[in-house]
Amino acid sequence: MENWKAMYEKWLESDRVSESVKNELRALGEEDIKIRFSNYMSFGTAGLRAEMGAGTAFMNTYTVAHATMGIARLICDMGEDAKKRGVVIAYDSRNNSPEFAKRCAEVLSAEGIQVYLFESLRPTPVLSFSIRELGCAAGINITASHNPKKYNGYKAYFEDGAQLSPDNAETVSKAIMSIDIFDGVPTPEEARAELIKTVGRELDEKYMEKVLAQRVNENAIRDAADGLKIVYSPLHGAGAVMVPEVLRRAGLKNLYTVDSQMAPDGNFPTVEYPNPEFPAAFEEGIKIAEKVGCDLIVATDPDADRVGVAARDKNGKFNCITGNQMGALLLDYIITANKESGKLPEDAYAVKTIVTSEMASEICSANGVKMYNVLTGFKFIGEVIKNSEESGKGTFLLGFEESYGYLKGTYARDKDAVVASLLICEMAAFYKLKNMTLSDALEALFEKYGYFKESVKNVIMDTPDGSERMANVMKALRKNPPTSLGGKKIVEFRDYSTGVVKNLATGETSSTNLPLSDVLYYVNEEGDVIVVRPSGTEPKVKIYVLTRGSSAKAAEDSAKASLDDIGAMIK
């Protein structure tokens, strides 16, 4: 936004802006004003995410209402039937989430659109499920997932239960930019209460029924119940009710909750980052696990779409199992358990993203299961499921991504920490009956398929020119692509922005056969993969390195060397 000073003054002069917000703005220095008003939050396929506060670039009731008008335009352009089918709205435990959700409902109803608003916080997968269950045209979830407490966000979903496609996201984004943030948005007083229906428990029951139906072995947890002990934490988020309820219904007797983290709290008082990817998130749970003598701790993020695990190893120490490792474990378990019962479908398939461990591909290959690789973003996993259902070909086993998101079942189109928590506990029971822990099971996978190591590095660019810097990084890498990384020659280069795959040895080209996306993908002479892409929700460039070695150390050394080399090229 070129004239940020004019936009700042517009907010100060508007009778739509409360006095408290104006006071917040008056207290800002010029640099902060520029940061808050130099642009609007970018509405991408993952929706919006930003710090909370006044200004066009931050999350507040004005920008949330503005974004919702873009959704309203999309629905209205679909016709009267879509308006009657409506939009379902959910939210998580973050500060201001209920207020933002209510504002969404007000805007949509004022435009004559039916709204279903959850009575209280819900896991993200419940929202995805509810869109399809209610037959809605779209859905909105107010959440910033696992980000620190100063953030909130806005995830937009379409009628299939998946997040908006790139085309629909672009349509919404253009609509937002054509609408005045104040004059073009209905006031709260214009809301139509008769079009806002409160929903809750009736959808929860249907959702949990679908989740429990995903058990591979319905008796595993009950059979191991006397000796199976699990510690669970929702990290102050939306999983607090549903995850324990599902586990108890599955037959888990010894469930210990981290009471200091059970109450929903957007300030996340016991963790700096409410992210189950980080070992620090398990500190409180480990204290309880040591006291009660259990081997497994499960933690879900604030909107309960991601789940992380800390498992005791053979030395008695708790180690975190990565998202890549857990995906491989779950996939292997689902295949193995189905094989043991003679129920593995001949047309079984799994789906993962291109930045997710290739161990999963090895597992599928060894068991005659088809693996689909898709772009980063669970909506692309949902797209494969949708296409499979529509064609009547293929039986879905598991979809997952390296960032701790998993889905089994076709009732939803987004990652689901509730079903993942159930399956992880079932898997732990399965191995316990074989006198194995999850750490033992993971080591067995390494011994069978090789030692895989996945590393991720985030290059933060949270400055006013962050978007430009991110674009320049990708431009520079395209202009001067690396010929070797980590001391190993690059033999294949994929540019997903053009869809071209180039064999650097022969010069032959082919197609990625995936939607165009700003992603660069390198394969070295040993089959290791290095991927670079700008984040779609945060000001950072992400680097992924996927390696395989004859030992854990060999794989780790290889990953570090490649990561160091590509990291040095990104400033």
Note the pLDDT tens digit of each residue in 361-396: 999 999 999 999 999 989 999 999 999 999 999 999
Which conformational region is residue 86 in: left (phi greater than 0), alpha (psi within -120 to 50 degrees), or beta?
left
Helix 61-78 with 166-177: angle, nearest 10 deg: 120
Residue 282 DSSP label? G
Check if 4-199 and 208-449 are the same fold. yes
The predicted pLDDT at position 180 comes to 96
Model pLDDT, residue 43: 79
Q: CA-CA distance, 76 to 474, in Å (whole number)?
A: 37
Q: What is the CATH number of domain 451-568?
A: 3.30.310.50
Q: What is the pLDDT of residue 2?
A: 59
Q: Which option is the CATH number for 4-199: 3.40.120.10, 3.40.449.10, 3.30.70.20, 3.40.50.2300? A: 3.40.120.10
Torsion angles phi and psi, residue 522, rounded to 5: -120, 140
Per CATH, the number for 208-449 is: 3.40.120.10
Residue 50 Cα to chain centre, angstroms: 16
67-76 pLDDT, tens per residue? 999 999 999 9
At a CB cut-off of 8 Å and minimum separation 6, what does 448 contact?
none
Residue 250's alpha-carbon distances to 218, 351, 397, 559, 568, in angstroms, are 7, 26, 20, 40, 49
566 contacts 520 by C-beta, under 8 angstroms? no
What are the Cα distances from residue 493, in Å, to 121, 475, 479? 44, 15, 13
Residue 507 CA from chain centroid, whole number: 36
Amino acid at residue number 108? L
Residues with catalytic roles:
145
State how beta strands 500-503 and 509-511 pair: antiparallel
Terminal Cα-to-Cα distance of the chain (whole angstroms): 24
Give pLDDT, residue 214. 98
Low-confidence ranges of the chain (pLDDT < 50): none
Both tokens assigned to 298? 């499960």
* Three-state SS at 162: coil
Q: What's residue 299's pLDDT? A: 98
**Spans of all domains in the chain:** 4-199, 208-449, 451-568
Could you tell me the pTM of the whole model? 0.94
Asked if residues 230 and 294 have their Cβ atoms less than 8 Å apart, the reply is yes
C-alpha 49: how far from its chain's center? 13
